[in-house]
Homo-oligomer: A and B are copies of this chain.
Amino acid sequence: MAKEIKELTPRSENYSQWYQDLVTKADLAESSAVRGCMVIKPYGYAIWEKMQQELDRRFKETGHVNAYFPLFIPKSYLSREADHVEGFAKECAVVTHYRLKNAPDGSGVIVDPEAKLEEELIVRPTSETIIWSTYKDWIQSYRDLPILCNQWANVVRWEMRTRLFLRTAEFLWQEGHTAHATEEEAVEEARKMLGVYADFTENVLAVPVVCGVKSETERFAGAIDTYTIEALMQDGKALQSGTSHFLGQNFAKAFDVQFLNKEGKREYVWATSWGVSTRLMGALIMSHSDDNGLVLPPSLAPLQVVVVPIYKTDENLKEITEKVVPILEECRKRGISIKFDDNNNKKPGWKFAEYELKGVPVRLALGARDLEQGTVEVARRDTLTKETVSIEGICDHIEQLLKDIQKNIYQKALDYRKANTRTVETYEEFKAEIEKGGFILAHWDGTAETEARIKEETKATIRCVPLDGDLTPGVCMVTGKPSKCRVLFARAY
């Protein structure tokens, strides 16, 4: 029962359907029986695990430790910080009972009305409140600071319209929550972690990002400042890929977390929080992949190299295998993940398509003629090009190729972003340009009213005020009022 080659809807035809096709056909994730919740399939999870490892190492190198806080948050905790509850109340899954029982009519199980919780529990949409209620007991003096904790966890935000990886009711993420003695230190931490995210996204995901700060409207609920990394997807839409928040003393005040400073005075503690999620899987997919399937950077590919034998007889296969085994061994010794696919039930053409769909960066093919000539065919997933090279020194070649591919797909995404980042002066220009997709740099008067009007009229939002942007003042493209600097607009996921 040979499975058919899984074709994807072309991007040019329907980008959104292409994405959906790719995520499901490449075995990354699928929808579950629970509305808005996804199943992350083994292949998708293997990529996520690689992301986790790279992030976790970076967190530890910058002095952070992991911990784990409860899944549930008492309802009253959420209300302690006014902006916070305002931001999250509309999407909270609420636990009200703790027991089921058999229905008296024998029709199955029902919620036991006698097992009602005294106070309802929220399934965490984010953990600031439960964590700051805990930090209260951990912090007495400046000697207890800073606290630099991270948590790998699942969170739930009851979204009405969901999309695999990009917006799901439950998602996986990490959330860092730090406590500091001074404002300066907390701001520095928030910015440092944005830098860690940018480094990770650019060097591991091969996705270029713009680092910036959010407008007040787009801030995290409860933050003083939200820093963001913004990536541009192939369809010209922006994807917020990670955020780091300077929370000021908001949560310390809400949970009365004070410390004795060096001068013996009581002060409220300063806070940050920062997170990235399985949404990064969406950023990865929509930055590099094509109509044939996934394109994975070698740094995240669960399988980096596949070897496909082209043979007619068992004797052929045996000869090929003899050539391949030393290559497998040498590659593995170098830490390269490589597989020899000698499955007899599938034809080479099927295998080529399957590994393209799965985004395996390098494919080797060996046939009878290669054996005679001492060569091997090497195909690159990123450029879809092939070359025939000598089997001598093939491992060096592969090693170099993996590095080249990592660089190339980053460069390609960067070139695309550069070609699709435009500067406009007038609102007319803006309205025309935004239809083409991409990032647009324009002047804005800094008011929420103008921002709302732009969003209403063009569906574009302010992605951020770039941290390394042009700081020349100007006049707002909409109102003509003064503008401190250009800000980055786009339509966004």
A to B CB contacts below 8 Å, 18 in the list: A1-B141, A1-B143, A30-B134, A32-B69, A32-B130, A34-B72, A34-B130, A37-B70, A37-B72, A39-B70, A71-B123, A71-B170, A89-B109, A90-B101, A93-B95, A93-B98, A95-B123, A143-B345
Check: A422 CB closer than 8 A to any chain B CB. no
Question: Which A residues fall within an 8 A CB radius of B?
Answer: 1, 30, 32-34, 37-42, 45-46, 48-49, 65-79, 85, 89-102, 108-109, 111, 120-123, 130, 133-134, 137, 141, 143, 149, 153-154, 156, 158, 170, 172, 345
Query: Which residues does chain B contribute within 8 Å of A92, judged by CB atoms?
Result: 98-100
Expressed in whole angstroms, the minimum distance between the Cβ of A357 and any Cβ of chain B is 17
Expressed in whole angstroms, the minimum distance between the Cβ of A38 and any Cβ of chain B is 7
Query: Which residues does chain B contribute within 8 Å of A65, judged by CB atoms?
Result: 42, 45-46
Closest partner residue, chain B, to A156 (CB atom): B71
Closest partner residue, chain B, to A97 (CB atom): B94
Task: Choose among A100, A122, A153 the residue with the greatest number of B CB atoms under 10 Å from its CB.
Answer: A100
The answer to whether A98 touches B108, judged by C-beta atoms less than 8 angstroms apart, is: no
Query: Which residues does chain B contribute within 8 Å of A68, judged by CB atoms?
Result: 39-40, 45, 48, 172
The answer to whether A66 touches B42, judged by C-beta atoms less than 8 angstroms apart, is: yes
Expressed in whole angstroms, the minimum distance between the Cβ of A177 and any Cβ of chain B is 12
The answer to whether B130 touches A74, judged by C-beta atoms less than 8 angstroms apart, is: no
Query: Which residues does chain B contribute within 8 Å of A66, judged by CB atoms?
Result: 42, 45-46, 49
Query: Which residues does chain B contribute within 8 Å of A170, judged by CB atoms?
Result: 70-72
Question: In the bound complex, how far is the Cα of B170 from the Cα of A71, in angstroms?
Answer: 7
Closest partner residue, chain B, to A141 (CB atom): B1
The answer to whether B99 touches A34, judged by C-beta atoms less than 8 angstroms apart, is: no
Q: Considering the complex of A and B, which 10 residue pairs feature the smallest CB-CB distances, nearest first?
A: A37-B70, A42-B65, A40-B68, A89-B100, A98-B158, A94-B97, A96-B96, A34-B70, A34-B72, A79-B108
The answer to whether B33 touches A130, judged by C-beta atoms less than 8 angstroms apart, is: yes
Query: Which residues does chain B contribute within 8 Å of A108, judged by CB atoms?
Result: 76, 79
Task: Choose among A67, A97, A149, A153 the residue with the greatest number of B CB atoms under 10 Å from its CB.
Answer: A67
Query: Which residues does chain B contribute within 8 Å of A71, judged by CB atoms?
Result: 37, 123, 154, 156, 170
Query: Which residues does chain B contribute within 8 Å of A79, judged by CB atoms?
Result: 108-109
Question: In the bound complex, how far is the Cα of B364 from the Cα of A167, in angstroms?
Answer: 52
Question: In the bound complex, how far is the Cα of B41 from the Cα of A149, in angstroms?
Answer: 9
The answer to whether A67 touches B95, judged by C-beta atoms less than 8 angstroms apart, is: no
Question: In the bound complex, how far is the Cα of B123 from the Cα of A154, in angstroms?
Answer: 12
Query: Which residues does chain B contribute within 8 Å of A69, judged by CB atoms?
Result: 32, 39
Closest partner residue, chain B, to A89 (CB atom): B100
Question: In the bound complex, how far is the Cα of B71 from the Cα of A32, in angstroms?
Answer: 11
Expressed in whole angstroms, the minimum distance between the Cβ of A297 and any Cβ of chain B is 20
The answer to whether A121 touches B34, judged by C-beta atoms less than 8 angstroms apart, is: yes
Question: In the bound complex, how far is the Cα of B268 from the Cα of A122, in angstroms?
Answer: 39
The answer to whether B99 touches A90, judged by C-beta atoms less than 8 angstroms apart, is: yes
Which of B39, B109, B121, B130 lies in contact with A134, CB distance below 8 A?
A: B39
Which of B74, B77, B123, B133 lies in contact with A123, CB distance below 8 A?
A: B123
The answer to whether B99 touches A89, judged by C-beta atoms less than 8 angstroms apart, is: yes
Question: In the bound complex, how far is the Cα of B44 from the Cα of A69, in angstroms?
Answer: 12
Question: In the bound complex, how far is the Cα of B149 from the Cα of A38, in angstroms?
Answer: 16
The answer to whether B74 touches A100, judged by C-beta atoms less than 8 angstroms apart, is: no
Closest partner residue, chain B, to A143 (CB atom): B1
Query: Which residues does chain B contribute within 8 Å of A156, judged by CB atoms?
Result: 71
Question: In the bound complex, how far is the Cα of B108 from the Cα of A77, in angstroms?
Answer: 11
Query: Which residues does chain B contribute within 8 Å of A77, judged by CB atoms?
Result: 33
Which of B40, B109, B134 lies in contact with A67, CB distance below 8 A?
A: B40
Query: Which residues does chain B contribute within 8 Å of A46, judged by CB atoms?
Result: 65-66
Expressed in whole angstroms, the minimum distance between the Cβ of A36 and any Cβ of chain B is 9
Closest partner residue, chain B, to A108 (CB atom): B79
Task: Choose among A66, A69, A101, A109 the residue with the greatest number of B CB atoms under 10 Å from its CB.
Answer: A109
Expressed in whole angstroms, the minimum distance between the Cβ of A86 and any Cβ of chain B is 9
Expressed in whole angstroms, the minimum distance between the Cβ of A300 and any Cβ of chain B is 15
Which of B41, B109, B143, B149 lies in contact with A85, CB distance below 8 A?
A: B109
